[in-house]
Chains A and B, each alone.
Chain A
Amino acid sequence: MEKSFDVLIIGSGHAGGMAAKVLTERGARCLMLNAGPVADVARDASRKPAYDLPYRGFKPPGRLEHVFQASEFNANVWVDEEEVPYTFDAANPYNWVRVRLFGGRSLFWSRQSFRLSDYEFKGKSHDGFGEDWPIGLADLAPFYSRVEEIFQVAGAKDGPPQMPDGNFVPVDDVWSESMDRFVKAAKPYGMPVCKQRRAQGRDGLASSVNLLLPDAEKTGKLTSIANAVVREITVDKKTGLPDGCHFVDRLSRREMHVTARVVVLAAGTLESTRLLLNSGLGNSSGMMGHFLMDQVYGPGITCSVPEARNGKATKSLMGGGAIVPRFRNIETKHDGFLRGYALNVTSSTGGLDPRNFAAYGAELEQKLREYHGSAFHMSMMGEVLGRYENQVRIDKQRVDAWGIPVLRIETKYTDNEYKMAKDAIAVSSAVAEAAGFEVLTKNDVPNPPGYSIHEVGTCRMGDDPKKSVLNKWCQSHDHKNLFVVDGARFVSAGWQNPTMTILALSMRASEHLADEMGRSNV
C-alpha cells in the first residue's frame, strides 16, 4: 500500500530539516527518510568513568581511523567506516566524518555562525579564480537574517565587509586584557579582530531536531522514517522525471519504494552526490562529483600569557574568544596564495595541555602548575580552492553493508593551501610575540582533507548548465523536480563555517519550490 507524497526529503540534518519546515508550513505533504536511527540521549547515553570502558577512553583501535574527533565515549555516534566504506589513494587520504543519526551532524556541530560575503559569492570577479556563484549576498541576506533568528546567533555587529553582520542576539562583553593586547598587536598586520558569532539555539541545542523538525511536525504534514538507507532515486518512465526512491531498511534489509512529486536531496554533500551518481541522474554537464572543497584545519599555535602564570590569572586578564576573518587578498594581493584564512582566537583560564612542554615527571607537573590559566590559542580555518581534479566518483569494486556502491574520493591540498597554512602560523606567531606572549607550540601541517567536516561542492550551482549541476534555486538543470539543498551546491568554500549558508540556501530553495509547486510549474 504505497502512499505518494508531494515532496520526498532525503536527510534530516540542517538542510533537510529546513526544507521540511518551509515546505510543510507552505502546505506540502513531505516524507523524510533518514539512514540512521533516532538518538535519544536518555536511552542511549549515560555518564561513565573512563576506566569502566574497555579501552579506558582511548579510541577503540582500528575503528574510525579517519575520524580524529572520535573517542571511546562517542565512537558509536559516527558512521562506521567498515559499514559504509569509501576508497581513496593511500597517498592522499580523506577524512570523511559522518553521522547518520536522525538530525545528522546538526546534533554535534561547533555552532560558529558566519555569512559568506561577496568576496566568496563573487570570488572569480575579485581574483579571477574559479566561478562566481549565480547569487550574491543581497540575494541571500534576508534568508540569513531569518536563519539567525531561528538559531539565536549571538554576535556583535563589528564585521568588516568580508564578514557581513547579521541579525544577532547582541553580545556586550568587553575584551579581557590579553585579548586587548592581541587586538593591538594584530593591527599592524591588517588583521580585523571581531567578537565570535555562535548559534545559541534553544535549551542547549542548535539542531534540526529541536529548531526545525518540531515546526514541521506541528503542521501534521511531515512523515518521517528512520533507518531508511536510500539505494537509488527512481524515475517515471513516461516523463523521465524523478518520482521517488528505493530504500532498504537498515535493520531488516527489507527493500521498499516510495513515490513523490518532487525529490529534495539533503543527505550531506558527499552522500547526496553519491546517491545521484548511483542513480545516474542530473549529470548532463559532467560536472557532478567535481570541485570538492573544504577548509584547512589543524595549523595553529599555543601560547602562554606570562602575567597570568603562577596563579595570577584573573578574569580581567584572561578569557574570551575572537574571530579574525580573512584578511589576506582583500585590499592587497598576497604573493604566495589566492584567497585566505581566518583565525579562531581563544584566551583560556583553564589548564594547558602537557604536550606544550618538553618535560616529564615532576618537572612537567611543575610547568603545568606554573602555566595554568595562561593559555592563548590561535587556530586556522583556510579556504580550499575549488579544483576540477578534486573529485568523487563511484567505486564499482566496493559496496557498503547494504550492497550500495561506495564513493571513491580523489582530492588533495595544493601549494595554495600549504603556503596559506605556513603564512597563518608565521603571522600568528609574530602577533603573539608582539603581544608579549610566549609561543609554546606551533604546527603548520594541515590535517587531511575532510577533517573540518565542512565538505562542500560536487554539485555546484551556476547559470550555465554546461558548467554546473544546479541552477540558482538549487534545482537540477536536468530535472525540474529534483533539488539539492545541502553543501553539495557550493561554488566556493570560503573560510567560513558553512552551516548558516546551508540553512539560508535551503530556506531560499524550499520557498522557491513551494512557489513553483503552487504555480504547478513543478
Chain B
Amino acid sequence: MLRRDFMRALVAVGSLPNALFAQQTVNPAPPPPAPVPWTLGLNPKTPVPVTETADGVAEDEARFFTLAQMAAMTRLCEALLPAMAGKPGAVEAGTPGFLDFLIGKSGEARKRIYAGGLDWLNAEARQKYKREFAELDAVQVYAVIRPWLRTWMTDHPATEAHADFVNIAHDDIRTATMNSKAWDDASSAAGRDWVTGGLYWSPIEPDMAGLGATANHLPPHVLAVPKAANSMPSYPR
C-alpha cells in the first residue's frame, strides 16, 4: 500500500464513530435553504482569489491553421521577430498559437489572406528550394519574403497579392508579440513596467437584449452592417 493510501485509511477509520453518532441524533438541524441568501454570501471582507491569465501559462490548441500552415506561420514568426536583446521572440511569446485563435475568430477576408498567404509561402519554398517553408534557412526565407515588404501608413496596407499578407502578418506578429505576457515579463525584469498596458473600458451598463431567459420577448439583435467586400482602403479585422 502506498503511504498516501495508508493515511487515507487511517483518517476514514478515525472518523467512523462520529459519523455513527450523527445518525443517532433525534432532532438534526435542518439543512440550510438553498441557495444561500445573498446577504450571507460575498461581502466586502471576502478574500478575492488570485488568478493568472492563461496566456503564458497554457498553450493554444491550433484550430484554424492546418499543420502545414502552422509550421509555416511558426517559421515566419521566428524569422520576422526573433528573440533579441533580452526580449522574447514571436515564437517564445506564443504568437503563432495566438494568431491561429485570432484569425480563426476573424472574418472571411482576413482568414483568406492568412490561409492563402501561408499556402503561398509553402508553394514558393517548394518551387524555389524543393522544401516546405518551415525548413528554409534564414537566407532562403529572406529571398522569399524581402521582395514583398512594403512601407505603409496605418489602415492602408499593400493591396497587391502576397505583399498584403506579408505586411499585414508582419504587423500582426509584432503587435501580438509585444502585447504578450512573455514580452511584459521580460520588460518587467528589465525594470520597465506595464509596457503593454492601457486604459481598458469595461462594458458600461450593457444592454440586456438577448441575455437570459427573460429576453424572449425582446427584439432579437439585428444583423450587422454588411461586411466590407468592397473597395475600402483597409481590410476588415
Contacts and interface: CB of A to CB of B under 8 A. Distances in A.
25 contacts: A39-B201, A44-B202, A45-B201, A47-B199, A49-B196, A50-B196, A56-B176, A56-B179, A57-B179, A61-B107, A62-B107, A65-B225, A65-B227, A75-B201, A76-B201, A85-B224, A88-B225, A93-B230, A360-B80, A360-B145, A365-B85, A398-B223, A401-B222, A446-B233, A448-B233
Contacts of A522: none
Interface stretch (B1-9, B19-27, B148-156): B148-156
Interface residues of B, number: 68
B14 to A, nearest CB: 45
Contacts of B233: 298, 445-448
Contact of B106 (A62, A362, A399, A445): A62
A402 B209 CA distance: 9
Interface SS majority for chain A: loop
A250 interface: yes
Given A441-B151, A447-B155, A85 B179 contact: no
B207 A83 contact: yes
B53 interface: yes
Contacts of A57: 175, 179, 196, 198
Contact of A37 (B171, B183, B204, B231): B204
Given A82-B221, A90-B228, A90-B230, A44 B105 contact: no
A448 B184 CA distance: 35
Interface in A322-340: none
B157 to A, nearest CB: 8
Nearest to B176: A56
List the 4 shortest-distance A-B pairs measured between CB atoms, nearest first.
Answer: A50-B179, A358-B149, A50-B196, A37-B205
Interface size class of A (residues with CB under 8 A): 35 or more
B231 to A, nearest CB: 7
B219 A399 contact: yes
Interface of B: 53, 55-56, 79-82, 84-85, 98, 102, 105-107, 110, 145, 149-156, 167, 170-172, 174-176, 179-181, 183-184, 194, 196-205, 207-209, 218-219, 221-234, 236-237
B110 A61 contact: yes
Interface of A: 36-37, 39, 41, 44-53, 55-59, 61-62, 65-66, 68, 71-77, 81-83, 85-88, 90-93, 101, 227, 250-253, 298, 300, 302, 353-362, 365, 398-403, 406, 440-443, 445-448
